[in-house]
Amino acid sequence: MPDDLINIAGVKEDFKNSLASAKTFNELDEVRVKFTGKKGALTLLLRSLGKLAPEERKETGQKLNLLRDEIEHDLTTAATKIRAAENEKLELDSRIDVTLTPKNDFNGAFHPVMQTMHEIMNIMQGLGYSVALGPEIEEDFYNFECLNIPKWHPARDMQDTFYLPDGKLLRTHTSPVQVHSMLEFGAPLRIICPGKVFRRDNDTTHSPMFNQMEGLLIDRDVSFSVLKGTMAEMLNAFFGRSLKYRFRASYFPFTEPSMELDIECVKCSGHDENCRVCHGTGWLEVAGMGMVHPEVIKAGKIDPEIYNGFAFGIGLDRMAMLKYGINDLRLLFNGDISFLQSGF
């Protein structure tokens, strides 16, 4: 049988083309079956050998053997390549890209009250104040007595105190740090003290633990206008704009005279009589303050004949709520992740 009946070259070319387009094990298997399977092209050729004249059989048989060897060799080589490619893909797919932004995850962030605390601390540090800290478990002396609030004083009723079995208490305000700091650093002095305070109060607008920031300046000839300027500077910087202020006469045992500071409503500026933030008054109470009482300066072992000063106390939780438009105090304390994730 002539070569054109046993088309070795044609089968070889067909095999090479089929092999070139096989990219997966399945496709490779199809090629294997197409040529070496029971009805495969190579198998058929080998079978037809018997029909050849004996003198042609030898030469064509050798050629076919060579083709079979080549096909088997090529199939094995192709299988090795495909396995290597699949392994590489598997490795790439399972590789961890540490630079990818994680899915369903979020970055840590400051709690809005901590954010507020840091913002005000930054502003006050810019005005030359240092940060002083004091104990949360206090002695009656520092929390009350040395702040001009003796045992019989009705002002004690203003602050529902948690007393501890050993006679100590949870500080009801950050004001005790005033005397601690005067005793430790003397005069002149400029400090702020952020921290937790505690009162027996728990309803929708009060939490038994909340955050305050105390400020104290002691120097010679300090005037009330310096206090006013300091408060305006701090609040304008904190809210990022110039607000209207009003000072109302008030009473605190540790300052004389005492004031409370109101700022214009940060939500409606007094233009909305149904405003849920200021309830239509147009004003928000933000701080207590005054000129430090001479008795308090004396308790700090500083001579009130030489030095005077001012002090103020602000509620950090309220400031955070005003700045970030948070309308429910409880959100600050219940650790709700979706609230905390909303970003401040």
Minimum Å gap between C-beta 191 and ligand DAH is 11
Cβ within 8 Å of residue 183, ≥6 positions away: 300, 301
Rounded-to-integer distance, Cα 277 and Cα 261, Å: 16
- Cis peptide bond N-terminal to 150, omega within 30: no
Q: Which of 112, 134, 195, 313 binds ligand DAH (CB under 6 A)?
A: 313
| SS3 label, residue 311 | strand
Rounded-to-integer distance, Cα 53 and Cα 5, Å: 13
Minimum Å gap between C-beta 105 and ligand DAH is 40
Q: Which of 45, 234, 311, 319 binds ligand DAH (CB under 6 A)?
A: 311
CB atoms within 10 A of CB 229: 12
Pick the stretch among 123-131, 180-188, 218-226, 283-291 that binds ligand DAH (CB under 6 A).
Answer: 283-291
The residue among 158 and 277 lying less far from ligand DAH, judged by its C-beta, is 158
The residue among 282 and 290 lying less far from ligand DAH, judged by its C-beta, is 290
Minimum Å gap between C-beta 247 and ligand DAH is 12
The residue among 261 and 265 lying less far from ligand DAH, judged by its C-beta, is 261
Q: Which of 144, 312, 317, 318 binds ligand DAH (CB under 6 A)?
A: 312
Cβ within 8 Å of residue 112, ≥6 positions away: 320, 324, 326, 332, 344
**Binding of residue 288 to ligand DAH (CB under 6 A):** yes
The burial class, CB within 10 Å (0-12 / 13-18 / 19+), for 304 is middle
Pick the stretch among 109-117, 225-233, 274-282, 309-317 that binds ligand DAH (CB under 6 A).
Answer: 309-317
Q: Which of 116, 148, 255, 308 binds ligand DAH (CB under 6 A)?
A: 255
Rounded-to-integer distance, Cα 5 and Cα 145, Å: 119
Minimum Å gap between C-beta 308 and ligand DAH is 13
Minimum Å gap between C-beta 290 and ligand DAH is 5
CB 160, CB 143: distance < 8 Å: no
**Binding of residue 289 to ligand DAH (CB under 6 A):** yes
Burial 15-33, CB ≥16 within 10 A → b, else e: beebbeebeeeeebeebbe
Q: Which of 138, 214, 262, 264 binds ligand DAH (CB under 6 A)?
A: 214
Strand bridging mode 137-138 / 169-170: antiparallel
Q: Which of 175, 181, 211, 230 binds ligand DAH (CB under 6 A)?
A: 175
CB 239, CB 266: distance < 8 Å: yes
Q: Which of 290, 299, 300, 332 binds ligand DAH (CB under 6 A)?
A: 290
Binding site for ligand DAH (CB under 6 A): 173, 175, 214, 252, 255, 288-290, 311-313
